[in-house]
Amino acid sequence: MKKSAYTDFALEPGLVQLNHASYGLTSRHVMNMADSERYRIESDPTLHLGSELTDGLRSRTSRTAEMLGLDVSRTTFCTNATSGAAAVIGSLPLAAGDTVVVLDAEYSSIIRAWATACERVSAHLLEVPVPLPLQSSDQMLTVLNSAVPGSVTYMQLSVISSSAALRLPIEDIASWVRERGGRLILDVAHAPGHIPVAPDAWGAAAMFGTLHKWLPTLRPVGLLWLTGDLVDRIRPAEVSLTWDSPDLVERFSWPGTFDPVPRLTATSAIDQWEQWHDAGLLAECERLADLGSELLTEVGAQPTASTELAAPRMRAFVLSGVTVAEIKAVLRKADIRAWVGPGPQGECLLRFATHIYNDQHDLEALAGRIKEALPR
């Protein structure tokens, strides 16, 4: 672990942290800013949680939209990616006989949300298996054409899938969805602060995600973006005081009593992230991810994606001949934190993510433990 960057975070000494992609990691700078913000709110909560809160959230939303290249009039904070998904899925028109397509590599709670919505109105949900490793866009389109015989109403798609860390071919799949007469809904939980987001260019109808996975914000901070015709239609899943506000930011600014500090300090996290970016630290994280992929492949782990479809700073691997429980135990004993879990078909998946505090020794330690665990 890089000592120079270690002091930016509150990580336990000696811990090899390669799993910030699960929950994010707040920096000390943002935690300090949050403490100041909380003291300010507690000095007069009637004012600071009342009349001035929406204006504060609006200014932070504007800064976030600017950083991400989004139209601020179609962008808002929300609680987290799950709440953003619930708002979209619960507000979109869906009728008996409609078809919703999801990939089995999608986050499980999002698949369940669509399944619930489809069951409620007798719509069809098609869950399409993603082959691992995924080698090309053409392979994915072939699978879609085989699994989906007719028209599509909506397709749910992650820009970068969670457990398998696939950087999916958005433009090609978006074209496929349009050809089938459908609309594309994007999950970008693993995009802001990791890769550029371009929902207009991708042809998306709606996009939900988080900031706290790849930016050093407090958790949670959700993000919601909508195409023009959906701005007035999408409502929060919880019916609160501002549920029917004509203003998008105000509509999502009060989900009942909540802690607004993660949203109010998001711009502090963006400022720090931009400093890291300008100093070349994030580019170094991408180099480390490439190194980690090489090391794990050498010891027998199989990448879930071709180089073309690999995410810049998050990589996943199929581990054959071992169980999820075995790998979790090995890594926990070594104080190495990486995500380990079942793949869509029950495979044992290992996923790591690199951050500015990681160095070559961290990836070597991970690969060494996996080499010892895999059957020879």
Pick among 3.30.70.20, 3.90.226.10, 3.40.50.1820, 3.40.640.10: CATH of 34-269? 3.40.640.10
Q: Comparing 3-28+275-373 with 34-269, is the CATH topology the same? A: no
Residue pLDDT, tens place only, 135-145: 999 999 999 99
CB atoms within 10 A of CB 344: 19
Nearest to 83 by CA among 231, 254, 323: 254
Residue pLDDT, tens place only, 204-250: 999 999 999 999 999 999 999 999 999 999 999 999 999 999 999 99
How does residue 321 score in pLDDT terms, banded at 50, 70 and 90? very high
Nearest to 186 by CA among 150, 194, 169: 169
Report the pLDDT averaged over residues 108-133: 96
Residue pLDDT, tens place only, 26-65: 999 999 999 999 999 999 999 999 989 999 999 999 999 9
Nearest to 248 by CA among 66, 57, 85: 57
Average model confidence (pLDDT) across the chain: 96
Nearest to 214 by CA among 143, 154, 165: 165
State the fold for domain 3-28+275-373: Aspartate Aminotransferase, domain 1 (3.90.1150)
Model confidence, pTM = 0.95
pLDDT at 366: 98
Every domain of the chain and the residues it spans: 3-28+275-373, 34-269
